[in-house]
Amino acid sequence: MEATNNQTVSIFPLGNPGPTEWFSGEVHVQTLVAPEQMEGLYTVGQVTFSPCGRTNWHTHPIGQVLLVTEGKGWYQERGKPAQVLTQGTTVAIPKDVEHWHGASADSNMVHIAISNITDGSSVTWMTPVTDEEYAEVNKNN
Amino acid sequence: MEATNNQTVSIFPLGNPGPTEWFSGEVHVQTLVAPEQMEGLYTVGQVTFSPCGRTNWHTHPIGQVLLVTEGKGWYQERGKPAQVLTQGTTVAIPKDVEHWHGASADSNMVHIAISNITDGSSVTWMTPVTDEEYAEVNKNN
């Protein structure tokens, strides 16, 4: 791992910009394992969120694992306080629970995501996390 | 990521020594996601191999993914040349293919492993990689 003064080099390539209909702000996605490489069980990717970058609200039909490798960010389930994500945080997201994840307002955040697939789908996308919802999470931190 | 002069700090805790009946040399295993956290689909762990540390020969009944996060090592399928593993290497190991993985003789190697489970099992352990087999892989590298 090359690193100097907390400037880090990600383990995997940055990848491509995430679709704007699923993400807010600057988000990059790199596929690491495609479904067809692992019998259609799941896909594995690295997601890099720049400060304020975040997913829309969404659910997973059969769950997802997040492994945080860099930075600081948030994981929030609908109606609950946000949980802070830092390097080494692991999140096992239950199926059918509405949530979002992303960077904090003052840091990037990088995670590996293992997205389980059932009936050909790994995610159901919903509405964006509004600026008001996002500011509420960041205001005390 | 804290790092100085290529001395790295692993993303996740080092964990506990790997069982000597499954590994040779110094190997540490840290569970990141237990099967019961993800509907019994797989387990996720970090494995840290010190130089010369390696798995026994083994197979996976429904495959495994390796995501290399640090160092240098080897992945070898029975009867084939070894493939070098470095930071950022991803390996999708097919089901029922006999293989081993581990550090090189002159470097540690750290990987995340996603071990798929079927019928309650994720691995079938076999014989150790002999010193002769291991030396053969390292001699030209």
Residue-wise pLDDT for B65-103, tens only, equals: 999 999 999 999 999 999 999 999 999 999 999 999 999
Is the pLDDT confidence value at A16 over 70? yes
Confidence category of residue B10, pLDDT binned at 50, 70, 90: confident
CA of B132, closest CA in chain A: separation in Å? 31
In a domain, B21, yes or no: no
Interface touch B39/A62, C-beta < 8 Å: yes
Q: Domain holding B62: CATH number?
A: 2.60.120.10
Nearest Cα to Cα of residue A66 among A97, A40, A26: A97
What are the Cα distances from residue B123, in Å, to A68, B9, B34, B59? Answer: 26, 29, 15, 6
CA of B48, closest CA in chain A: separation in Å? 14
Is the pLDDT confidence value at A9 over 90? no
In a domain, A4, yes or no: no
Interface of chain B against chain A, CB under 8 Å?
1-3, 6, 8, 11-13, 32-33, 37-39, 41-42, 44, 62-63, 65, 67, 69-70, 87-88, 90, 92, 95, 112, 114, 116
In a domain, B119, yes or no: yes
Q: How far apart are CA A77 and CA A73, in angstroms?
A: 14
In a domain, A5, yes or no: no
pTM listed for this prediction: 0.93
Mean pLDDT on B39-49? 97
Confidence category of residue A10, pLDDT binned at 50, 70, 90: confident
What ipTM was predicted for this assembly?
0.91
Mean pLDDT on B110-119? 97
The dihedral sign for the CA sequence B11, B16, B21, B24? positive
In a domain, A6, yes or no: no
Domain that holds residue B64: 28-138
Q: Across A15-108, where does the E strand assignment appear?
A: 16-17, 23-24, 27-33, 42-49, 54-55, 58-59, 64-77, 83-86, 90-93, 99-103
